[in-house]
A = this chain, B = another copy of it.
């Protein structure tokens, strides 16, 4: 019973684990949070690519049957050069595909500085539907606001209004949440944008993709749910606290040293 490997720079990727639990309840997950080096979103492409390769190597050495790169930044800048003996899924392509399938013509993308600068969502969306109008905004304060736990807070609402204003002005009908932390802001963002704008969670999209791909390859687990396992590169207590909130149950963490 090989687990699905999932990694992110921190707790954000746990929203992807939550989506996998809903979509593939029998699959065990081996999660790696590279908390010693988070956040990836403000780092250069070269550095993020180096960290990503090392994280995938660790998960492969622990016997996973595939790896989900839950970090949007890593998916955006590191996937093309990645070497892996098992299948690897990024979050950009599934997220872009879902947005392209739903949009009436104008898509907004929010993410970290690195993800937005990479224009990975824009490129994927234009490949799928060249006539789409795509507008992007980096929202560097969203991750620290989520990590502070201010998920539905007047301050967060003001900051979100400011970040989203240019996208609203462009008349977007679909917003891609291009960072795994952002689904935790869904109630607030949905209220701000109103019912005319659909939100796309790339984590949900990649979970659906995985269900399809593993099913096609005959690699789906069956039977009762196996326990997930969580690795972190730094024992910061905040990971455990946020993980329990996101997943709805306490998790035990194994500290691994990666240089």
Contacts and interface: CB of A to CB of B under 8 A. Distances in A.
Interface of A: 35-38, 42-44, 46-47, 113, 140-141, 143-145, 147-148, 154-155, 158-159, 162, 234-236, 238, 259
A153 B232 CA distance: 36
Contact of A145 (B46, B113, B141, B143): B141
Contacts of A235: 44, 46-47
Contacts of A143: 144
Contact of A259 (B147, B162, B259): B259
A234 B148 contact: no
Given A37-B37, A155-B158, A236 B147 contact: no
Nearest to A141: B144
Nearest to A138: B148
Contacts of A236: 42-44
B148 A155 contact: no
A136 B42 CA distance: 28
Given A36-B37, A47-B234, A143-B144, 6 more contacts: A42-B238, A46-B235, A141-B144, A144-B144, A155-B159, A158-B158
A69 to B, nearest CB: 19
Contact of A238 (B36, B113, B159): B113
A41 to B, nearest CB: 10
Nearest to A150: B141
7 contacts: A36-B43, A42-B238, A44-B234, A140-B144, A140-B147, A141-B144, A155-B159
